[in-house]
A and B are shown apart, each in its own frame.
Chain A
């Protein structure tokens, strides 16, 4: 049975339950829905409640996505997804990472700092031409100078030292440089239910912007590593 059909069936069941409740004359009795019926009711309510606004379209913003669906369901159930399922989803996300064609991973850290500071872009009050920010400081400490930082993600201050990197151009550092690029491009390739956006994979940041953020984190001259 496809997901769509099961949704339809569950929606029918949900409708029948609602009808029964209505026929009971508003009494508080009536069997409660099972989890599948509640999922279907939620789906129906989401479809009816949200509308396109500005650059944000329902069809894109709420499109089904196996990674998000699995993580959402785990959160609702109150336990993490299984390690096997996590591996499958991480592999799926890994495939979306576009590595730099010219093999150049580090750009300009000064530009990276500006991108890390900006939380702009992709809301219904932004325009398509608004340059997207990385939203990095909203969740991470990055430089020592910027004290207005969030704490949802780990501190990235002294990034190289924390990750055992002295020279990002050295062969030993290549694995960590690639990880840093990949994590920014698609965080879910390394942690299926990460809170972090998939900046490259979802087209939030360009390849050049990702390169500049990698430099902010890994360039020995960046204030992050001072």
Chain B
């Protein structure tokens, strides 16, 4: 029924025939549709699965994730999401939420990181990380992003992320900045946030993981970045690779003060 009312709304605006007005109105119609779905976001199901996975004893070591340190001490989940990626002493690396979850699954549960890194979206251990990330993210809903930049490696990763954001490449010379470098631009009818600056509450980095209505999938930030690079005609970034983490630092630091809306619902 929602889908039908959206179609009617869009058709109605098409019939007006005044392009500028029609676009504004169809964008609004899609916005309203999203709001309607927000009441029953299917992301809730992934959030529940994540919560279960956090406390469930699993893997060769038959252990739970409850002692996982996401940056605020073992087992502290609330507020962790809005401070990631950050530097971790035990790995000596800057890690985003997903690469950190993979570390915990490996050290606490004995699950081979390769199962996630070489896995497929929506399947097996990689799907488990997405569910865990959805739950962990949801525990910081409404909290402002405040990534630490006190460690030299955190500052370096910001600078690397900035360089990656502006790196043109692939057959089409596209960079992240080609689409996300200016305010108020669109691809077809899709509004594009400017991610080289502060995009505002619940936009860009503050919106993922998100449930995607168009394909019925739950997408993590790693998945979002992966598909951006696909559309950029870049080669594939390896899951949780330093390039993806560096971009996370760049986007996350730029989002300072923006309130997280995770998990959100998207087109």
| Chain A residues near B (Cβ < 8 Å) | 18, 21-22, 26, 28-33, 38-39, 41-42, 45-46, 48-53, 56-58, 60-62, 68, 71-72, 75-76, 122-125, 135, 137-139, 141, 144, 147-152, 188, 195, 197-198, 202-204
B200 CB to closest chain A CB (Å) equals: 19
A61 and B169 contacting across the interface, CB-CB below 8 Å: yes
CA of A39 to CA of B162 in the docked complex: distance in angstroms? 11
Smallest CB gap from A54: residue in B = B236
Beyond A45-B241, A72-B163, 6 extra complex contacts between A and B, CB < 8 Å: A38-B156, A61-B234, A62-B170, A124-B230, A144-B19, A147-B26
B160 and A38 contacting across the interface, CB-CB below 8 Å: yes
B1: interface (CB < 8 Å): no
Contact among B150, B166, B185, B186 with A75 in the assembled complex (CB-CB below 8 Å): B166
- Given the interface pairs A28-B152, A30-B152, A151-B186, the reply to whether A197 lies near B174 with Cβ below 8 Å is yes
B189 CB to closest chain A CB (Å) equals: 5
B34 CB to closest chain A CB (Å) equals: 18
B159: interface (CB < 8 Å): yes
| Chain B residues near A (Cβ < 8 Å) | 14, 19, 22-23, 26, 87, 89, 92, 150-153, 155-156, 159-160, 162-164, 166-175, 177-179, 181-182, 184-190, 230-231, 233-238, 241-244, 246
Contact among A51, A123, A139 with B238 in the assembled complex (CB-CB below 8 Å): A51
- Which residues on the A side are within 8 Å of B182 (C-beta)? 152
B178 and A152 contacting across the interface, CB-CB below 8 Å: yes
CA of A203 to CA of B173 in the docked complex: distance in angstroms? 12
- Given the interface pairs A42-B164, A46-B164, A76-B163, the reply to whether A53 lies near B178 with Cβ below 8 Å is no
B160 and A124 contacting across the interface, CB-CB below 8 Å: no
A49 and B243 contacting across the interface, CB-CB below 8 Å: yes
CA of A28 to CA of B233 in the docked complex: distance in angstroms? 37
B187 and A138 contacting across the interface, CB-CB below 8 Å: yes
Which among B151, B159, B235 has the highest number of chain A CB atoms within 10 Å?
B235
B24 CB to closest chain A CB (Å) equals: 11
A122 CB to closest chain B CB (Å) equals: 5
A147 and B22 contacting across the interface, CB-CB below 8 Å: yes
B178 and A56 contacting across the interface, CB-CB below 8 Å: no
CA of A71 to CA of B178 in the docked complex: distance in angstroms? 12
Smallest CB gap from B20: residue in A = A147
B159 CB to closest chain A CB (Å) equals: 5
B26 CB to closest chain A CB (Å) equals: 8
